[in-house]
Amino acid sequence: MTGSSLSSGTGPPPLDAGLIAAGQPLYDVHCASCHGIDGTGAEGWKTPNADGTYPPPPHDSTGHTWHHSDRQLVGLIANGSDFAQSRMPAFGDRLSTGEIEAILEYIKTWWGPEERAAQWEITQQEA
């Protein structure tokens, strides 16, 4: 959150401290049980379970959450995954879009500058 806005004008904006503060407790309650309190996911998350489902992936730089645009991620969290055998619950009946956006802002604190910049690009391209 120390990036200078004077440098280029094309990088991601600083994360919103208010949104992060709102998102953290929501993440801890709704998401941490599967994705880990620090977003590190389940060990061996790339290997399917015996029933064809997948363990919860990490949300930090080692995962691929940052490969998706903001719109895709908010939609996935609200509606669940489009993977038929997913264990990822849909949260649209429990969380407002604003709450989901706050959780996403908190998740972004786990990304390094490169992941943040890449995900910002993907989000901008889609806008």
Least distance from C-beta 28 to ligand HEC, angstroms? 10
Q: Under the criterion CB under 6 A, does residue 111 sit at the interface with ligand HEC?
A: no
Q: Under the criterion CB under 6 A, does residue 39 sit at the interface with ligand HEC?
A: no
For 12-28, letters b (16+ CB in 10 Å) and e give beebeeebbebbbebbe
Window contacting ligand HEC (CB under 6 A); options: 3-11, 27-35, 108-116, 118-126:
27-35
Window contacting ligand HEC (CB under 6 A); options: 4-12, 13-21, 62-70, 112-120:
62-70
- Angular region, 41: left φ>0, alpha ψ -120 to 50, beta rest: left
Rounded to the nearest angstrom, the gap between the alpha carbon of residue 47 and the centroid of all alpha carbons in its chain is 20
Rounded CA Rg of the chain: 15
CB 99 within 8 A of CB 22: yes
Of 3 and 55, nearer to ligand HEC (C-beta) is 55
Least distance from C-beta 30 to ligand HEC, angstroms? 4
Binder to ligand HEC among 54, 110, 111, 120 (CB under 6 A)?
A: 54
Please report where in the chains the tokens 């290997």 appear, as a residue. 47
Rounded to the nearest angstrom, the gap between the alpha carbon of residue 40 and the centroid of all alpha carbons in its chain is 12
Which residues of the chain form contacts with ligand HEC (CB under 6 A)? 30-31, 33-35, 53-54, 56-57, 63-65, 68, 73, 76-77, 81, 83, 86-89, 91, 103
